[in-house]
Amino acid sequence: MSIKSRVKLKRSQEFHTNGPVYMVRMRYFMNNETPHEHDFHEMVLVRGGAGLHITENSEYRIVRGCVFIVCPGQVHTYRGLENLDIVNFLYMPSEMESDFQGLPGSMNLLDVSPDMPYAVLSEDAMMRVEEIILEIQQEQKKQRPGWEYFVRMAFMRVIGIISRAQQEAARSSGMGENGRIGRLIRHLGKNYARPMKLKELAKFCAVSESTLVHDFRKVTGESLIDYLIKMRLEKGAMLLRETQLSIAEISASVGFDDANYFSRMFRRKFDASPREYRKWVMKRELVAVPASGGDEGESL
């Protein structure tokens, strides 16, 4: 995947504060965002919905609990969006050196690749982060004396939760519940087009089939088969937008043996046939809309 930045977001425009941290909530309703880069660090937390995160070297599906880091100069965008609800933590680590050095594991957030999720948070961790997000929203909205300090400290609590989740996954060699599913998500992103059996995927994760099914739904909120089908459909939608391949060629290239089945599932997801969708995207491009308030075995 080759994408080029069309927009460079600058701290002077995006940070509505003199402090080193600012939080922005974004909701995307359909389709794409313009490829862009920043002159600041951005940590993205997915609160709900789904879509594809596209970087210069990879693309992968994101759902609730996914966390990824975008460093200055790294180009990224989103496509195939389904009511995606994210929180962007914009931060300047050069102004927070003591904060990061004092928290084990947090230094990993300063120079990472956006080409895969940094962490996948459990629902328990997400609930704790959600409470902190509400605190930050209130601080940014009311701007009482010292609000920038409280936002900074709250952000470091979020960093602590995420760093702990990432470290625990790493200590278990990627085979803890969240690390295991994160590893599987990356595997699906690379191999989505070929036939896969649940038995094969369970072996890949070194767990039983029932454990895999249970853990996948717990971490992502979706069944494994639904996740894979959506991934294939999103890849198909991307090819419809960006190539002139026939429907049959696209269907086969994203893992559907039957073009008619691909078309039926595509209509169910996008409320349009592949042909109608291709015509529609040629006429209009929907863009991101800030959230109100601004702060706020069978083969698979």
* pLDDT at res. 132: 97
Q: Which residues of 65-84 are buried (b: 16+ CB within 10 A; e: fewer)?
A: bbbbbbbeebbbbbbbbbeb
In a domain, 25, yes or no: yes
CATH number at residue 76: 2.60.120.280
Alpha-carbon dihedral sign for residues 230, 249, 188, 161: negative
214, amino acid identity: H
* pLDDT at res. 243: 87
CA neighbor of 182 nearest in space, from 105, 119, 136: 119
Alpha-carbon dihedral sign for residues 69, 71, 74, 75: positive
CA neighbor of 232 nearest in space, from 59, 38, 91: 59
Q: Does residue 221 share a domain with residue 157? A: no
* pLDDT at res. 288: 40
Question: From the first residue on, what is the mean pLDDT of each consecutive set of 10 residues in the chain (300 residues)?
Answer: 75 94 87 85 93 86 91 90 92 86 66 80 91 96 96 94 77 60 82 89 86 87 90 88 90 93 92 88 52 46
Domain that holds residue 218: 177-283
* pLDDT at res. 5: 67
* pLDDT at res. 250: 95
* pLDDT at res. 105: 62
* pLDDT at res. 99: 81
102, amino acid identity: G
Q: How far apart are CA 53 and CA 113, in angstroms?
A: 13
Number of domains in the chain: 2
* pLDDT at res. 293: 42
pTM, whole model, 2 decimals? 0.62
Structural domain ending residue among the three candidates 171, 196, 214: 171
- Residue 240 · residue 250 · CB < 8 Å: yes
* pLDDT at res. 116: 80
* pLDDT at res. 170: 60
CATH number at residue 266: 1.10.10.60
* pLDDT at res. 117: 82
Q: Does residue 129 share a domain with residue 26? A: yes
**Angle between the 224-242 and 274-283 helix axes, to the nearest 10 degrees?**
50
State the DSSP code for 231: H
289 DSSP β-pair partners: 27
* pLDDT at res. 285: 46
Q: How far apart are CA 251 and CA 168, in angstroms?
A: 39
Q: Does residue 43 share a domain with residue 90? A: yes
* pLDDT at res. 213: 92
In a domain, 294, yes or no: no
Q: How far is CA 268 from the centre of its chain?
A: 23
* pLDDT at res. 297: 47
Q: Does residue 269 share a domain with residue 157? A: no
Half-sphere exposure of 4 (CA within 13 A, CB side): 1
- Residue 62 · residue 52 · CB < 8 Å: yes
